Amino acid sequence: MSVRDDIAARMPGGDAGLILAVLATAYLLYVLAGVVLGYDLRGQLNSLATLTFYIGVFAMLSLALNLHWGYTGLFNIGIVGFMAVGVYVMALVSKPTFVAGGAAQVGGLGLPLWVGIIAGMVAAAVLGFVVALPALRLRADYLAIVTIAMSEIVRFSFLSGDLQQFQLFGSKVGFGGGSGLILDFVPPLEALFQSVGLWGVYLGFVDATKVIVPTNPKPVVDGLVYGLLLLTFVTVFFWLLKRTGESPFGRVLKAIREDEDVANALGKDTDRFKIKSFMLGCALMGLAGILWLMPQGAVTPNFFRPRVTFFVWIALIIGGAGSNTGSVLGGATFAALLYQGPRYFQNLVTTVLPNLDSPPGFGQAIGPLISQLDPVPFLLYTIDSIRQLQLVVMGLVLIWLMHNRPEGLLGHRKETASVISLSRPKAAAAATDGGSADGDVQTDGGVDVADNNGGVDDE
């Protein structure tokens, strides 16, 4: 029986090819939609930047979740809690100090952005530790409920008036309560390029793009560059998690997922492994949260409702838990089709068929269908409500996947938890050349054991 059966095997270029193909399809669809919607070049670029942005954040989040669930079997449905802590702590550290009269109600410590980002990740990891310590002893479904409860506690805390503002190191800081925080620090891209001394170069580049986007090209370029930045982060996440999984460390995680007592009896300090894995995942979720909200200009606690967590789960399940490639694909597919898709669909319909007068309520929509078998008002109403139905669609997709393809798009893929291929070494084991470490990124795990009897070094 083969350990793998998946689409990537039939795909030129393997996993990378598959990811590229999916991305290309998504972009093509969006460009086409833009054409129909009559977007000018600027609009097209904007829409692609937005798409890239969401692909990036969902891919990162589902990669991080894959570490928890796919590798370690930790059923974390408190993702938003870790994202929230990441962003909020980052804001607290990096927002400029308070000056009266500005739009911001409270200030921050005014430290550089990168300090804030690290602080945010550390805070998310620490929260992970706090949750993990007691909760890791619990059954998977209990852990689920504890984590989701924790994420709600985090949200309530940021909402509460008691943390709205306080003094820290002599500055007036706080979490802003229900109003949230205005993220009035240096924009992230500016901070990034300034820190490497390329800000001038970047501005020059932006100026040069005036050829394509004549007026005010900066937000467009910013959006695209930020999107690329996110994709870079996705690559880094991917690389990190793939290495984590394909290693003795990952092997222990896998064993924990299967039967913790056995791993423990074999001498593995399972609690430590679980805590490490959990904290790493939480830090990555914190980072993903930061990258998602950092450029948004403001953050409010109610963004961090549990449904965002479920979005990430849907993304992961679409791609296939246990597989990093799957996580990226799932994130991209989710972002393009389920998250952003319905808006475009609705706009397309209203553009193609303008002046449709959809009925104001379900009653008026369903009435004609019942009394005169006239489906038109109902259809119009349905299209008009596509944004609410978006979540219905997500639910149905999830159900469908669990029924028909619980292993996700990529098929039943079990990435072998080992640095090397586990095939039987040749009697005179081929001298190992050590392999180039960078090669790791491209092959996605467990090259079919049976097909690879020849070499120990598959990388």
Partner 1 sequence: IGGGGGGGGPDGLVVIGYPESGIQLFRDYYSASDGSEEILVPDGLRSGSMPGQVGNDMENVTGTAPAAGGPNQETFNQLFQDEYGAAPGVFTSQCYDSVAVQLLANAAAGENSGPAVKDQMRRMANPGGMTVGPDNLIEGMEAAANGDDISYEGASSSVNFDEKGDPAEAAYSIWEFDAENNATTGVDKQSFAGENPDGAGPMADSGPGGSDREISVGILLPETGDLAAVGQPMIQAAQIPVKQVNEANPAGISVNAQIEDTQTSPDAGVSAAQSLVSAGVPSVCGSASSGVNVPVSQQAFIPNEVVGCSPSSTALSVSNLEDNDFIFRTAPSDFLQGRVMAQVMAERLEVSTVSTLFVNNDYGQQLSERFSNVFSDQFDGEVYNQVAFNIGESSYSSVIETALSGPDN
Partner 2 sequence: MGIAETYSRGREFAIERPFALVLGVIAAYLLGDLLLGLATGQTQFADIGSLAWDGLMRGLVIGLAGIGLSMTYSILNFANFSHGDYITAGAFSGWSTTYLLAGLGRADIGALMLVGAGGSVYGGTLGIGMLSTPLAVIAGIVVAGGFTILLSLAVDRTIFKPIRDEGGITLLITSIGVAFALRYLMQFVFGSDVRGTTAQPPSVGLYLVDGTVFIDAHDITLLVIASGLMLGVHLLLQRTKLGKAMRAMADNEDLARITGIPTERVVRSTWIIGGGLTGIAGYMFILWKGTLGFNDGWLLLLLIFAAVILGGIGSIYGAITGGLVIGLTASMSVLWIPSAFARAAAFVVMIVILLVKPSGLFSGRSTA
Partner 3 sequence: MSDASQPVDDVATKVDEGALGSFASGVQTTEEYPLRVEGLRKSFGGITAVDGATFQVESGSLTGLIGPNGAGKSTTFNLITGMIKPDAGTVTFNGEDITGLDPHEVANRGMVRTFQIARELSEMTVLENMMLAPQRQRGEELWRSVLPGVRNDVREQEEELLERVWEVLDFFDIDHIAEEYAGNLSGGQRKLLEMARALLTDPDMLLLDEPFAGVNPTLEKKLLEHIHELREQGYTFLLVEHDMDLIMNNCEHVIVLHQGRVLTEGTPDDIRSNEEVIEAYLGGNV
CB atoms within 10 A of CB 207: 12
Cα distances (angstroms) measured from residue 396 to each of 274, 392, 402: 33, 6, 10
Q: Which residues bind partner 3 (CB under 8 A)?
A: 1, 3, 240, 243-244, 247-252, 254-255, 257-259, 261-270, 272-273, 276, 280, 414, 416-420, 422, 424-425, 429, 432, 434-435, 437-438, 449-450, 456-457
| 369 CB-near residues (< 8 Å, 6+ apart) | 375, 377, 378
**From the list partner 3, partner 1, partner 2, none, which binds 40 (C-beta under 5 to 8 Å, kind-based)?**
partner 1
In 3-state terms the chain splits into helix, strand, coil percentages (rounded to 5) of 70, 5, 30
Nearest approach, Cβ of residue 450 and partner 3 (Å): 7
172 binds partner 1, rule: CB under 8 A: no
The 10 Å Cβ neighbour count of residue 442 is 12
**357 interface partner picked from partner 1, partner 2, partner 3, none, CB below 5 to 8 A per type:** none
Beta bridge partners of 50: none
454 dihedral zone (left: phi>0; alpha: psi -120 to 50; beta):
alpha
Q: How far is the CB of 177 from partner 2 (least distance, A)?
A: 9
104 binds, among partner 3, partner 2, partner 1, none (CB under 5 to 8 A by kind): partner 1
> Which token pair is 182?
């205005």
Q: Does 375 bind partner 1 (CB under 8 A)?
A: no
Residues at the interface with partner 2 (CB under 8 A): 75, 134-135, 137-142, 144-146, 148-150, 152-153, 156-157, 159-162, 310, 313, 317, 360-364, 366-367, 382, 385, 388-392, 394-399, 402-403, 406
Q: Is there binding between residue 303 and partner 1 (CB under 8 A)? A: yes
Closer CB to partner 2, 75 or 202, in the complex: 75
Distance CA(103)–CA(110), nearest Å, equals 16
Binding at 145: pick from partner 2, partner 3, partner 1, none (beta carbon under 5-8 Å per type): partner 2
Sign of CA dihedral 194, 198, 203, 209: negative
When CB distances are held under 5 to 8 angstroms depending on the partner's kind, the choice from partner 2, partner 3, partner 1, none that residue 226 binds is: none
Task: Kindly report the number of other CB atoms within 10 A of residue 246's CB atom.
Answer: 23
Question: How far is Cα 452 from Cα 334, in angstroms, rounded to an integer?
Answer: 34
Distances (CA, A) of 132 to 1, 89, 125, 215, 265: 37, 20, 10, 51, 21
Q: Does 343 bind partner 1 (CB under 8 A)?
A: yes
Give the binding site for partner 1 (CB under 8 A). 34, 37-40, 42-44, 46-47, 50, 101-105, 156, 159-161, 164, 177-180, 182-184, 215-216, 218-219, 222, 295-300, 302-303, 340, 343, 347, 387-388
